[in-house]
Structure 1
């Protein structure tokens, strides 16, 4: 008797999540660390602790590009990195906050690793997050009707892919300086205006030279898309090919929940116009989308010439207020 593919998928998912994760409390931090074996690999994720007994809304934060753990050891003290503590500090215990280590990255790992290079792609990263979300909503006290997925920078397209995969399980998606069209758009625009590749090292003083360099690099990546030895801007061809062949727009075109796009107008890593392109394109597709432009904010939402303002905290507050509406 043949098992239909959809039934087999359900049985496989049930077998995965029948397993119990190994859970450790992180000392002096408001998180438990989960290690869950899936197939021959182990994924690591963290869920904030709470004293509340009722089901709480879930916030999943997807960090931007990088190769380090979400925590590091500084002179014997474990400290958080990548900005995720701001989500807990703003939300306090009214929400559960979920964060995950990237494929190939272990707790407290720092610096380059072959494991990360060989394992990291849009597909592996998205699947890690999907598995972490499914585990906590099945095993922890979570309000399954209130789930916010927020992705910053590289995390924007990853969050969009996860929302596409999980559909109506995700009620809200926030894209924080996370592109709109493919990241190739920002590479092209910044090569054109000289923000990128206009250095002595590259020796490309004209727009045409820089744009041709981007086009040639992309052609080389497409010719060898799974290569984990060749790199561009510090990341493998596998990473670039998997992330740039889709976009926030492509992935969210299949998602029907609420969408928020946040973008700093002085961002020099993601072209600010990409947010408006995403917003208007998703509007044409009938999506429930809002756009918030943060004037004079950089890629991390620091407000230029206003160092007294914590821009990162500000955009998280805006996002959580929107989530609560």
Structure 2
């Protein structure tokens, strides 16, 4: 942990077009924190350096990155573009912030692990912050696996391993919105990140001056089926889904998908006072309750008024 620097001005990369960056901008505004949405592209080192020197932020939030559209399979056919942003861009920003003594929070990923003999499915034994990534079956995850050991070298950098992020809106990035539109899903328990709870936690962690790697997920695991059952309970009682196996799933995907449990011990131990983080099953149910309220207020009685974002066809 570095010495805390008063959080007076934040520069957000990925704030203009990114999902998490945009949510952080809203959160900062609600908390009365001055912030600037970055213009420079992270891979352009000279532009980033000039922007940092012009804005003079006390803290930087790095939420820019390529995950691909409609999913990470895109990265398999766009490797240089993926490296340019996810590796070169992130390292540029971390390096330039370190040179200037600026605290830099990187919203990274925990999709760099898969269940193995030491961390079996259903065992409750999660990967810790010290474990070496063991999943590289997608190019996206491979680049993220490259990044983490290098980011650890920067004493001003906070690296947050986000997984399967969930929100109470209908963003196409929302894990719930994604799986609702699938015809079939795998039923595997995973660590996940409910943004409504976790993004305020990241702000508190930056204020506290925490650095290094953290598993940035709600404690525990939840399965795809459990998520969809809660969706059926609160949003659409008519919704139906089917399961398929990992082997069947692999036939329709270009790249593999990470399934794992991340240990939350370090996160909960170091969490600043006053921050509430629920276990994942409670957090997802509360999220669905908020989504029900939000959708009803915006669109009218559910499920008949559900917008196209959550319809399969």
Would the TM-score normalized by the shorter structure come out above 0.5?
A: no
Flag the structure with more relative contact order, 1 or 2, with Cα contacts below 8 A and sequence separation at least 6: 2
Under a length normalisation based on structure 1, what TM-score does the superposition of the two structures give?
0.34
Considering fraction of residues, name the structure with more strand. Answer: 1
Under a length normalisation based on structure 2, what TM-score does the superposition of the two structures give?
0.36
